[in-house]
Amino acid sequence: MITETEPRAAARADDTAAPAASGRRRLPRWAGPAAVLVVLATLPFSTLTVPGLFEGALNSPATLHLLAFCLVFGGLATSYDLLYGRVGLLSFGHALYFACGAYTAALLMRILELPLLWAALVSVLAGTLLSLLLGAVALRVNGIAMAMVTLAFAQAGSILVARDPGRVTGGEEGLSLNTAVVPDAFVGVMNTANLYWAALAYAALATVVVWWLSASPVGRVWQGIRANEQRVAVLGVDPYPYKLAAFTVGGGLASLGGVVYLLVTGGVTPTITTAEFTLTLLVMVALGGAGSRWGAVLGAGLYTYAEHRLRQAGGEAFSALPDWIAAPLSQPLFILGTLFVLMVFFFPGGLTALPGRVRSALRARRTAHE
């Protein structure tokens, strides 16, 4: 007599044998990211030149410094995507936690002469605590009201840094890195590779944390909040602590990015404290694809690289054009803003959705011809 479980066992055996019979085995999901990480980690050993993209070889200090910038902002954009792309929280104050990490570390190393490790730990703790406190207030309201509250906090922090109370923050000139308490491995042009690896480690850590949390039960609640917060509340789950958790984790990752940014740049200026800087993060996330696996890192990297190259070109590249068109084209933000508008209009899902849209278009065209 055949029991009910035998057909199921046979079906499972057939399903297991099918891939083996066909000779095809799917790679684990971590294989692709691990391969990308290995390639990026070995770039400082590569003497390959890419004409038109980079001025020197891949392991030249100038190229590694630019790539380190791209990775720092990639990790920072990923921390912002945790709020905007995963939970649907529009915050205009994310730059405040990034600046908190950078300025706190700079002050601790300058005034108290704390070593880099201790200054980094205290700075990340301070940025996480700040995001927890401000998030507890801002998340009492929803939508545009919450965005305005975060904007008010960001503007208050920016004004505080710019006015330089007690001549602590350095005002418009900012603060320089106290290299006396920084390990020699992170000081000097010859150690640019170590700064690049530090930026890569930060970007990888931010990406892994966001991926892991998004795949956890907490991440599934975040998906429900993003889709319909009221429905989540009706099901008996209070959205507030879950949103506050995302706000706090995002702020902690951003403050860690501020410490790495301080190392890479050798100082910090008030430009990273403004709400406009947070808007730049929003553009990066939307450009790559909000809520996607690689969107924030890809969008931030491309945006940072394009802005750097456009600033290098300046107005010389458009000097042959009439003044009425050369003047706006000589401003990198004008070009980047125009490209972003076109990207949103024609490819609303960002760069990560572009391959899927192309495949769908080709499939529709092939079906029409048949």
CB distance 36 to 203 below 8 Å: no
Each residue's pLDDT, cut to its tens digit, for the chain (370 residues) gives: 344 444 444 444 444 444 444 446 777 777 778 888 899 999 999 888 888 788 888 999 999 999 999 999 999 999 999 999 999 999 999 999 999 999 999 999 999 999 999 999 999 999 999 999 999 999 999 989 999 999 999 999 999 998 888 888 888 888 999 999 999 999 988 999 999 999 999 999 999 999 999 999 999 999 999 999 999 999 999 999 999 999 999 999 999 999 999 999 999 999 898 878 888 898 899 888 888 888 899 999 999 998 888 777 665 656 666 676 766 666 666 777 777 777 777 777 777 877 777 777 778 778 877 6
CB distance 268 to 174 below 8 Å: yes
- pLDDT score for 22: 46
- pLDDT score for 197: 96
**Tokens coding 226:** 């993003």
Other C-beta atoms within 10 Å of 241: how many? 12
- pLDDT score for 21: 42
Q: At what angle do helices 239-265 and 61-84 cross, to 10 degrees?
A: 170
- pLDDT score for 318: 62
Q: How far apart are CA 88 and CA 81, in angstroms?
A: 9
- pLDDT score for 24: 60
Vertex 53: Cα angle to 42 and 312 (nearest 5)? 120
Phi-psi group of 135: left, alpha or beta (phi > 0 → left; psi -120 to 50 → alpha; rest → beta):
alpha
The CA–CA distances, whole Å, from 168 to 107, 108, 207 equal 8, 11, 33
- pLDDT score for 6: 45
Enumerate the domain spans of the chain. Answer: 54-273
- pLDDT score for 316: 60
- pLDDT score for 1: 39
- pLDDT score for 140: 93
